[in-house]
Amino acid sequence: MQKNILLMSHSKQITNGLKEMIDQMNQSAEVSVHSLGGTSDGELGSDPMPIIEVVNDAPEDAIFLVFADLGSAVMSSDLAKDMLEEEQQKRYHLVDAPLVEGAFAAAITASITDDVNQMITEAKNSGKKGWD
């Protein structure tokens, strides 16, 4: 099963750096990380269309875990879900977790399991540092 981690941010530099970090730590061929930050003209902002393209180009059984940083990146991710076919929406998960820690934890977990709920749980728990 192909597992896709979609990184949404206002900044392409942020998502490119995060993708590079995850790719270096995760060598699973079943996990693909997609840097979808910024706008199509290289400016700060967000755009739902790159998400739609990734989903449409993926195998029919692929799953998508979407991580976003701020306001309009979250809104673009949510809008993209609304623009997908119903069957695609079932495999598209907006994960309410920190962008860096959540995406990293989800990708590493996805490399060892096909359990989407476990991937999401690990992502959501990733921001807890345990500092007192």
Given 10, 12, 34, 91, the catalytic residue: 10
Confirm whether 34 is a catalytic residue. no
Q: How large is the angle between the packed helices 116-125 and 99-110, nearest 10 degrees?
A: 150
Element (H, E) at 34: strand 31-35
The encoded tokens of residue 15 equal 């998502």
- Report in angstroms the alpha-carbon separations of 39 from 11, 28, 45, 112: 8, 29, 5, 33
Can you tell me whether residue 65 is helix, strand or coil?
Answer: strand
- Rg, Å, the chain Cα set: 14
Pair 91, 63: CB distance under 8 Å: yes
State the residue for tokens 């807890």: 128
Q: Please identify every residue annotated as catalytic.
A: 10
